[in-house]
Amino acid sequence: MLVACSAGIFRWGWCALYALLPVIVGSLLWQARRADHPQRGTWLDFLVLATLGLAVDLRWFERAWPPHLAIFNKVLLLDLGIVGFGVVRGLGGVGFDLRLRLADLKVGLREFLIYTPMAVALGLATGFLHLHHAWPRTLPLLGAWCFTFLFIAVPEELFFRGWLQNLLERRMGRWPALGVTALLFGLSHFNKRALHFNWRYVLLAAIAGVFYGRAWRQERRVGASAITHACVDTMWGAFLR
């Protein structure tokens, strides 16, 4: 309300939507909790995940914000998911903890180093990636990594690995869950950097999703996969395009 009012774009419809979403999501996940004590996941869990995921990916609610602050829509929906799945649903094994450990760094960097050579080779071969001619400066590179980690990697890894892959593992096993989650992660990039279906981005993102999923599931830590994710995205922006 403060942002919308100060920007002169306040609308009661958007206000009502943001007020009702926590009530609706909380109610659905409370019902899921009561019906699913083993936490194998119910259709209510996946309905909430689909709604949150599509709202972010298709930017359903971003018109409620000034363009330069639209990132806060993603942050609010992330907070809604954290309260819904963490507090109301009580979903275990998520691994959401921003107190990073040395093991998170080791696992995250390991998966980044394994993924990078094949991704760069495939990206250059398909014409999706091109090398930059200038070497990036250290401080902007560090700032880009921190921004990517907090506003892109952590939200996406919490959603795809901490919630989605976590629930799918309980139903289909580790490897099928890893593959399905990676595929869905890739498809979520279908309209990025292009006005049409960007199959090259989908392919590279799906392969990246395998390594993000591997990083998360080793210690079941979102921090580990978020480090891999932030390193990949920062490298793309700094050295490739």
Per-residue tens of pLDDT for the chain, all 241 residues: 888 999 999 999 999 999 999 999 999 999 999 998 889 999 999 999 999 999 999 989 999 999 889 888 999 999 999 999 999 999 999 999 889 999 999 999 999 999 999 999 999 998 888 887 777 888 989 999 999 999 999 999 999 999 999 999 999 999 999 999 999 999 998 877 566 788 999 999 999 999 999 999 999 999 999 999 999 999 988 877 6
pLDDT recorded at residue 194:
60
Paired with 131 in beta bridges are 240
For the whole model, what pTM was predicted?
0.93
Report angle CA 102, 103, 105 to the nearest 5 degrees.
65
pLDDT recorded at residue 239:
76
pLDDT recorded at residue 134:
76
Nearest CA-CA partner of 150 in 209, 80, 75: 75
Handedness of CA 175, 177, 179, 185 (dihedral sign): negative
Helices 102-126 and 199-219: angle between axes, nearest 10 degrees: 160
Paired with 90 in beta bridges are none
Cβ–Cβ under 8 Å, residues 70 and 62: yes
Locate 2 and state its tokens: 């403060």
pLDDT recorded at residue 183:
97
pLDDT recorded at residue 203:
94
Amino acid at 207: I
Phi, psi for residue 240 in degrees, rounded to 5:
-135, 170
pLDDT recorded at residue 202:
93
pLDDT recorded at residue 120:
92
Cβ–Cβ under 8 Å, residues 195 and 182: no
